[in-house]
Amino acid sequence: MTLVGSFWMLYLYGYNLSVAVWIGLIALAGVSAETGVVMLLYLDLAYDQWVHEGKMRNRFELRDAIYHGAVKRVRPKAMTAAVIIAGLLPILWSHGAGADVMKRIATPMIGGIVTSTVMELLVFPAIYFLWRSRQLKAGLRSEAGSAQHAAA
């Protein structure tokens, strides 16, 4: 999804793929991977905390655990995106020597950071919920089956 924003920005500005554009895409991939891993870490920590405290009994408690972890990442991700965009926007307006190359590096990063923010704050927690809810459902089934087997 990060690349979607990059390619839309490239399309809007009329830039073709070039070495400079690929450098911007590689830099964007690094930032997106890093912030995505940190979001996953926060979601896992919140999930483990809920399990340790015995609060992970149904999908509603799973949702609460995911909210707990994801909310801690809203401000850092927003600040990261704002600083990157604020730092790269002046490059888009520059006209000096080397501006053509620098614009092609900055353009995919700006578009990708916008969609990366949406992806990390909305899509990652939703996918995490689907993934953990399947595990939770399978765990509840196995616990019910073992309880029935023990009762027999």
Is there a domain that residue 91 lies in? yes
Is there a domain that residue 16 lies in? yes
Is there a domain that residue 62 lies in? yes
Note the pLDDT of residue 150.
47
CATH number at residue 17: 1.20.1640.10
Distances (CA, A) of 31 to 24, 35, 101, 141: 11, 6, 20, 39
Express each pLDDT in 71-100 by its tens digit. Answer: 999 999 999 999 999 999 999 888 888 888
Express each pLDDT in 36-48 by its tens digit. Answer: 999 999 999 999 9
* Structural domain that includes position 91: 2-143
Whether this model's pTM surpasses 0.85: no
Report CA torsion sign: 4, 9, 13, 15: negative
How many domains is the chain partitioned into structurally? 1
Which residue stretches of the chain have pLDDT < 70? 139-152
Percent of the chain whose pLDDT exceeds 70: 91
Note the pLDDT of residue 136.
78
